[in-house]
């Protein structure tokens, strides 16, 4: 660059790349290659990662990101290149606008653009990923600096790009649909916790990891005391709401690395990786205390008090088998029931 020459802003950079972009998108086999590569995986993160790399190859930008709903339906960045915390509000704000409108968004300076509000900045070009008449995700390219003019691709080039992005959107939609179906298959419908199927899968996985690394693995088996009285006295709708509240209380007692599951009915289990019996007992005491102090169904003007019986079992202290570990925790829970409920029993070998 000659001394004193002005650096191209993002819009100028896009304009300078248009001829090369047209040549890339006009390649004879590009659509076939796109369909093949985008469908090479059923992992939505990998599909999005492929698209980010492809977009940056088509048109270099300081940041590219793909935003789509996660399994809970919340917007999430599935893949990115160059995304900084400062750009996060801009990427999410732009993605939301594109999803709402179903069309591209081009802006020279987001801070001055009324379409996207909040702590937004930079030059942006964003493309909807449309599949089956729905916007299933958004491809966002952004430069944190504003430009003098709005990025422009031209109608013919934009139409070509839409054609190229459609099979990518279908591949991403298929991957997201499969991910959601898999999540539902291991999730309890009522509480949103993991279900017993997933609990057993994780237990087997953690058993292998525990044995390989020589680290302890603990399980809590939790049974609500006298919960049938809630259903009998206040109805099954109230009982279901109370179970959701129990699930929330138990979840708040666990770490992010722990797995909290509804085993069935009013029974819950917590898998505690890398946790010995002392650490598991500490978590069990926290669960007991928080359930005991919680006022259930306050929204129904009932303020019910409940207690729990909890069994604790640790591998390899009690057993070397994940299946037997869960049974040991279950037996320990019944020891609490037999002793009067509302307490904790730590399983020992042979109990």
Residue 330 pLDDT:
95
Q: Which two tokens stand for residue 225?
A: 């005391």
Strand partners, 135: 130
Query: Within the chain, which residues score under 70 in pLDDT?
Result: 1-7, 71-72, 183-184, 350-351
Count of structural domains within the chain: 2
Query: Considering the entire predicted model, what is its pTM?
Result: 0.61
In a domain, 351, yes or no: no
> Which of 185, 209, 241 finishes a domain?
185
Residues 252 and 119 in one domain: no
Q: Which two tokens stand for residue 344?
A: 């904790």
Residues 181 and 201 in one domain: no
Alpha-carbon gap, residue 342 to 164, rounded angstroms: 62
In a domain, 5, yes or no: no
Query: Residues near 85 by Cβ (< 8 Å), separated by ≥ 6?
Result: none
Q: Which domain holds residue 223?
A: 196-346
Residue 200 pLDDT:
87
Residues 18 and 79 in one domain: yes
In a domain, 2, yes or no: no
In a domain, 190, yes or no: no
Q: Give the domain CATH number at 136.
A: 3.30.450.40
Residues 254 and 163 in one domain: no
Residues 215 and 100 in one domain: no
Residue 2 pLDDT:
44
Residue 80 pLDDT:
96
Residues 159 and 36 in one domain: yes
Strand partners, 64: 81, 141
Residues 229 and 284 in one domain: yes
Residue 351 pLDDT:
64
Residues 163 and 236 in one domain: no
Residues 90 and 174 in one domain: yes
In a domain, 256, yes or no: yes
Residue 5 pLDDT:
45
Long-range residue pairs from 173-182, CB within 8 A, at least 24 positions apart, any chain: 173/131, 173/132, 173/134, 173/136, 174/39, 174/42, 175/41, 175/42, 175/43, 175/44, 175/46, 175/47, 176/44, 176/68, 176/69, 176/136, 176/137, 178/42, 179/43, 179/44, 179/71, 180/71
């Amino acid at each position: 660059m000659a001394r004193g020459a002005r650096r191209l802003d993002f819009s100028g950079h896009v304009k300078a790349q248009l001829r090369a972009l047209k040549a890339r998108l006009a390649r004879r086999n590009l659509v076939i290659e796109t369909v093949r590569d985008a469908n090479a995986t059923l992992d939505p993160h990998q599909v999005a990662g492929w698209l980010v790399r492809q977009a940056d190859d088509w048109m270099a930008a300081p940041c590219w990101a793909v935003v789509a709903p996660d399994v809970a339906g919340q917007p999430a960045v599935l893949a990115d290149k160059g995304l900084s915390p400062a750009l996060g509000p801009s990427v999410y704000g732009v993605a939301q606008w594109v999803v709402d409108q179903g069309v591209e968004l081009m802006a020279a300076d987001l801070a001055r653009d009324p379409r996207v509000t909040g702590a937004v900045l930079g030059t942006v070009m964003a493309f909807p990923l449309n599949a089956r008449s729905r916007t299933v995700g958004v491809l966002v390219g952004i430069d944190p600096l504003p430009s003098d003019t709005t990025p422009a691709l031209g109608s013919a080039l934009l139409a070509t790009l839409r054609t190229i992005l459609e099979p990518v959107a279908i591949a991403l939609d298929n991957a997201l649909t499969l991910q959601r179906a898999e999540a539902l298959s291991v999730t309890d419908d009522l509480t949103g916790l993991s279900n017993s199927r997933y609990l057993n899968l994780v237990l087997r996985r953690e058993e292998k990891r525990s044995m390989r690394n020589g680290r302890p693995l603990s399980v809590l088996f939790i049974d609500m005391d006298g919960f049938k009285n809630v259903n009998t006295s206040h109805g099954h709708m109230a009982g279901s709401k109370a179970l959701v509240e129990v699930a929330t209380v138990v979840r708040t007692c666990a770490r992010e690395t722990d797995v909290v599951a509804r085993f069935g009915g009013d029974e819950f289990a917590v898998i505690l990786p890398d946790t010995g019996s002392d650490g598991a007992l500490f978590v069990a005491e926290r669960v007991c205390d928080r359930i005991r102090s919680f006022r259930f169904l306050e929204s129904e003007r009932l303020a019910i008090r409940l207690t729990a019986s909890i069994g604790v079992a640790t591998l390899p202290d009690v057993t070397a088998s994940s299946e037997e570990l869960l049974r040991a925790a279950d037996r320990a829970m019944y020891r609490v029931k037999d002793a009067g409920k509302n307490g904790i029993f730590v399983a020992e070998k042979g109990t």
